[in-house]
Structure 1
Amino acid sequence: MEVLLDDIIDTHIHLSEHYKGGLQNAWHPNEAEGFRRDWSLEDLRSSASKGRFRISKAIFVECFNQTALDEAQWVLKIMESDSFLVGLVAQICVQKGAEEVNAFLENMKKQYGGVLPKGLKGARFVMMAWENQADDACLDPKFLEGLEALGKAGLLWEFACEPRVAPYLPSCIAKFPEMTFIIDHLAHNGNKGGEMEKWGPAIDALGKLPNVYMKMGATEQWNVDNPGDYIDRAISAFGFDRILYESNWFVNDAMGDTYDKTAQLLYDGCKRAGATAEDLRRVFHDNACKV
């Protein structure tokens, strides 16, 4: 089997031990039947090993294992014994303001000698689960206050949102030029507001902000017939220096996609854009290290 790339960092994976008696998960047991099982690092390795892309490291992104603090501590413990997992993006209710952010971080510090653990890289809370469902919820003063607190702690923020929110993200992010932001799934959790003429200009505007990185993956959730066109638009906006590869495992697996599907789509998009071997290395490895 030809190996297209090796030493890849997958910047977006989920884990759950809900059914074996681990932390209870408030999300995936309520999804379609394909989701209703446990998902381990061994399962991820097995899934990825069947394809043509070789994954060497991965970043865990919160997925509603309860409680959020317990989820973070569980993942950090896994990281102590398994070098495959190299980072954690925790679930923190930044939309509830600075007090909420600081309380979470102080509880984390209590477990690690008064400092934040090295493995904690950032936070997210999927916007589809916020109390505020307005298109411009990212401009809510409480959320901006929470972002400021997160940034002061040296942590990044990941936006997981429907594309209807994308036009408002540049105004939000521009308020925090010293903070790093990541956009999950090309801002495409579903396709509400995701028509190219609405979504495209927002992506172009985000690409002009040097502190924003774009995760390219989760195509199983985009609900578009032409994912390559969206990949091409985002590559044009962000270049090869600010794109991150993500599989969105286990969601892709649960929805019936092979591990390689998203990786291949991104690889092909990069090649269409004239990527060199060095460019591909940036997209699939180096940019993740930088962020």
Structure 2
Amino acid sequence: MKIDSHQHFWEYDPVRDEWIDDSMEILKQDFMPKDLEPHLSDAGFDGCITVQADPSERETNFLLELAENHDFIKGVVGWVDLTSPKLENRLVHFDQFKKLKGFREILQGEPPGSMLDERFISGIEALQKTRFRYDILIFENQLRECIKFVEHFPEMHFVVDHIAKPVIKESSFDEWADSMKKLSDFPNLHIKLSGMVTEADWDHWQTKDFTPYLETCLEHFGADRLMIGSDWPVCLLAAEYGEVVGIIEDFLDGLSQEEYDDIMGKTAVEFYQLNE
């Protein structure tokens, strides 16, 4: 099964979605399943994982309703307040939704130390006792903190979104690569090969810009801990859906069939327990 492990849906709200500034005009519209399905089909995907873009349970419920009505949405990564004293009750509530596979915080917007805050640590401890997975959304300058965070949870299933957002347009690499190598020591942590085009020069990126980053991920994590993600519709700031998929397809050319199958779907299926 081929799976796009990372994309978003929303009904555009200028107040809620204030992060979409004037440089992102193309994103100031609705993006719904009917808009994505043709792209998935053209790229040969069997389905997708849809990921929260707003920190609210309303968002989680919105995505779950879409997943209920569209079979190609194989899983949902939602939001829940991991610092709430009512967290365990909320996790019990959400356990009834089988397409809900995990949760995410927008940690890239949080101040230093947030991942190591006692309340957040307690929240992940509670999450670790459930079937749910956790998506880590950070910038590359948060990687050192992320390493300390992951050390606390050897049993938690983590995936880092967007290869931790190195500043590709500035060829930022060495410190990112060093931290990624250290992160690879944790066998419970996976990586999404996603979100790269928006970290590159939106108007002038070339496929070769991403090669050292992809090679580093493959070398240290192996194909069985990597998964493709489009980050649609955010990717539209810099590339069409097919172009994003093409970057990964080009990189996979010459790898084994097993490695291809892992990155293009098997890793996501196993990580998000899509067959359960």
Structure 1 length as normaliser, TM-score?
A: 0.82
Distance 1:237-1:77 versus aligned 2 partners, 3 A rule: same
Pair 1:172–1:256, CA change in 2 (3 A)? closer
The runs of 5 or more residues in structure 1 that have no matched partner are 1-6, 110-114
Aligned residue-pair number: 264
Say if 2:21 is the partner of 1:38: no
Q: 1:29 Cα deviation (Å)?
A: 5.0
| Greater relative contact order (CA < 8 Å, ≥ 6 in sequence) | 2
Aligned partners of 2:79 and 2:103 also within 8 Å: yes
Counterparts of 1:102 and 1:192 in 2: how far apart (Å)? 41
Residue 179 of structure 2 aligns to which amino acid in structure 1?
A: A
Which residue of structure 2 aligns with residue 287 of structure 1?
A: 267
Out of 238, 252, 255, the residue aligned to residue 275 of structure 1 is 255
Alignment of 1:73-152 (within 5 A): 73-94=61-82, 97=83, 99=85, 101-102=87-88, 104-106=90-92, 108-109=93-94, 115-130=95-110, 133-134=111-112, 136-152=113-129
Q: How far apart, CA to CA, are the structure 2 residues paired with 1:245 and 1:36?
A: 25
Q: Give % identity.
A: 22
Picking from 2, 5, 21, the partner of 1:8 is 2
State the Cα RMSD in Å: 2.5
> Compared with structure 1, are the counterparts of its residues 232 and 178 closer, same or farther at alpha carbon in structure 2 (3 Å cutoff)?
same
* Structure 2 unpaired stretches of 5+: 272-276
Partner of 1:233: 216
Find out whether 1:174 has 2:168 as its counterpart.
no
| Aligned equivalent of 1:244 | 227
Q: Which residue of 2 aligns with 1:112?
A: none
- SS of the equivalent of 1:215 reads strand
Aligned residue identity for 1:284: M
What does the per-residue CA deviation read over 1:196-241, in whole Å, with 9 as the maximum and x for residues that have no partner?
1111011111112110010001112223762211111111111111
Q: Does 1:62 align with 2:52?
A: yes
Aligned partners of 2:76 and 2:101 also within 8 Å:
yes
Following superposition, the deviation at residue 74 of structure 1 comes to 2.1
Contact 2:133 2:158 in 1 (8 A): yes
In the alignment, what sits opposite 2:131?
154
Question: In 2, Cα distance between the equivalents of 1:122 and 1:194?
Answer: 32
- Report the alpha carbon displacement of residue 194 of structure 1 after superposing the two structures with TM: 7.8
